[in-house]
Structure 1
Amino acid sequence: MAKSKTNTEDYLTMYRQMVRIRTFEDNANQLYLSAKMPGLTHMYSGEEAVAVGICEALKVTDKITSTHRGHGHCVAKGAEFKEMFCELLGKEEGYCRGKGGSMHIADQSNGNLGANAIVGGSMGIATGAAFSAKLLGKDDVTVCFFGDGATAQGLMYEV
């Protein structure tokens, strides 16, 4: 019989995941500051608990969409550092073959439909994913991460 987790074990798992996100962000920032990474990057530092708190409740088949600050969401949903760093560095081994970079990173295998550099731009994608799950009779959920600036975008009201 499998032993169920205690709250303490759950909290430690979530804390470790937050530390993983911060570690990724610190390393990504160093790559950016040293001009080794093409393009821009927007840090998720200080927001780790949001991604972890939500993604810990999701299944692999559940979907997420993200913002231009998507590294934390990507890590929290199960992405691997190697493929993420390859993506940021424009390498073929990256999740989007190095073409998405920091602001458009996605990991379809873990249900991450991608980050979007347009404020509120992923809301339509999230709505489509949720509607698809409903039409297919799946119990999957879709989470759309966005910031407060996105609440003034027309797409939010349209979807």
Structure 2
Amino acid sequence: MAEVKEPKVLAQNRKASHDYFIEDTIECGIVLTGTEIKSIRQGRANLKDSFARVQHGEVFLHNMHISPYEQGNRFNVDPTRTRKLLLHRSQINKLIGQTREKGYSLVPLKLYVKNGFCKVLIGLAKGKKKYDKRQDIAKKDAAREIARAFREKQKY
């Protein structure tokens, strides 16, 4: 039986889970040039301020930064250019309906290589308010304190 390899995560948007409630996720392909994929495989991509948007029946990823490939010379492209995401028509139609609701947006969560192809995990996200963020921080602190107490208890 063939082994199922875990996809190698090359870039992650950690701030997304802090700033948004992620309600749904979709895996999609991305259109890249040759030097871009080489740079991504070196781990030189950044999803920090990026977002996805549906335009004219297609989904595009904006503001994702991919550093120019060092040996790419004239084949390098603009690091923050808009890149097309590859989805099925039914998935795009579903996203159009969901993003029309007030407060919802599409946020890239992870960039990884799966079976030799670069994939982006985008999430349907709703923005958090300041008090929501404070509650999340308080929960994390409480969990950390509990874990610390258990570790100290096991020492004795």
Scaled to the shorter chain, the TM-score interval is under 0.3
Q: Choose between structure 1 and 2: higher strand proportion.
A: 2
Q: Choose between structure 1 and 2: higher helix proportion.
A: 1
More relative contact order in 1 or in 2 (CA 8 Å, sep 6+)? 2
TM-score by length of 1: 0.26
